[in-house]
Amino acid sequence: MERTLIIIKPDGVQRSLVGEVIARFERRGLRIAGLKLMHISRALAEEHYAEHKGKPFYEGTVRYMTSAPVVVMVLEGPNAIQAARQTMGKTHPLEAAPGTIRGDFGLDIARNLVHGSDKPETAEREIALYFKPEELVSYQRVTDAWLSE
């Protein structure tokens, strides 16, 4: 069982795509372990994107991520990180396959709707930025047995 952090970015919230994005992850078979609507503070955005500090896109990314509410969620399931990333599509929406979130709804790399952790260590760090352990719930669904052995 693996967990990943997903952020529906300001453009996804402003375009009223929250329900569609969540539905795609759930239809894929991933379980929601935590979910909240929030406004990311500048300090939190700077901490989240600290590895990119000094890069040309850093300031714009921080400004964008703090510009409007976002939805943050923790998804869990077998190979959750890879499954979520495939569901999102390539980072640049014009390179993302049709049927993916970014491929269906995005046009610009700076407005690509969703963020997803890229590896287990990143997921662990990112989840801890947005959720306290007691805010996460693990549970079994009746359908889980039909998704994997």
Report residue 50 as tokens: 């600290």
Which residues are tagged catalytic? 115
CA angle 56, 17, 14 (to 5 degrees): 60
Tokens, residue 53: 């500090």
Rounded to an integer, what distance in angstroms lies between the CA atom of residue 9 and that of residue 40? 10
Q: Which two tokens stand for residue 91?
A: 């980072």
Any idea of the CA torsion for 103, 105, 109, 115, to the nearest 10 degrees?
-90
132 to each of 58, 61, 125, how far by Cα in Å? 26, 24, 12
